[in-house]
Amino acid sequence: MRISDDPRRWEPGSVLIHEDGRELTVASARGHRDRFLIGFEDVSTRSEAELLRGALYVSSAEVRDLDEDEYWLGDLIGSRVETADGETIGEVSDVMEAPAQDLLVVPTPGGDRYIPMVKEIVLSIDVAAKRVVIAPPEGLLE
């Protein structure tokens, strides 16, 4: 299982849409420490760049179809997580990238639970119903 935030959208030449309708062309993109830095054509100062934060969207023409086992991050946030027996565990609040696989973050009264996104544990995901069914191994939810 993979969660996709299509890394090709950051390739130089890709176009993102600002919430005011402006089209911005990616000039450069690279990782820097724990951040991802993106440079845009016609954006030359840090002040200009900071105004773009949280206001960029991908044109529908740029969105690719996902494979059967891929999911958009935003489609998983807020999904109800339950066991195959129907016990509700909580709702997905975040998805963390980990070295071996992504982890669904599910807050519970006992603290956050981290559900590995592997076929043996995540049995099904119904994006339309915002529902994730899991088969947690012993100790995962404790």
The pLDDT of residue 46:
87
Residue 52 has pLDDT above 50, yes or no: yes
Between CA 142 and CA 126 the distance in angstroms is 25
Q: Is residue 18 part of a domain?
A: yes
Are 50 and 91 within one domain? no
Ramachandran angles phi, psi of 74, nearest 5°: -60, -25
Are 82 and 121 within one domain? yes
The pLDDT of residue 4:
44
Residue 12, classed as helix, strand or coil, is coil
pTM for the model: 0.60
Please write the tens of the pLDDT for every residue from 88-133.
999 999 988 888 888 999 999 999 999 999 999 999 999 899 999 9
Q: Is residue 13 part of a domain?
A: yes
- Please compute the mean of the pLDDT values over residues 40-55 and round it to a whole number: 84
* Residue range(s) defining the domain that contains residue 115: 70-134
Please write the tens of the pLDDT for every residue from 62-78.
555 677 777 777 789 99
Q: Is residue 29 part of a domain?
A: yes
Torsion of CA 38, 30, 26, 13, to 10 degrees: -170
Domain count along the chain: 2
Q: Is residue 139 part of a domain?
A: no
Q: Is residue 64 part of a domain?
A: no
The 10 Å Cβ neighbour count of residue 94 is 14
- Please compute the mean of the pLDDT values over residues 4-17 and round it to a whole number: 72
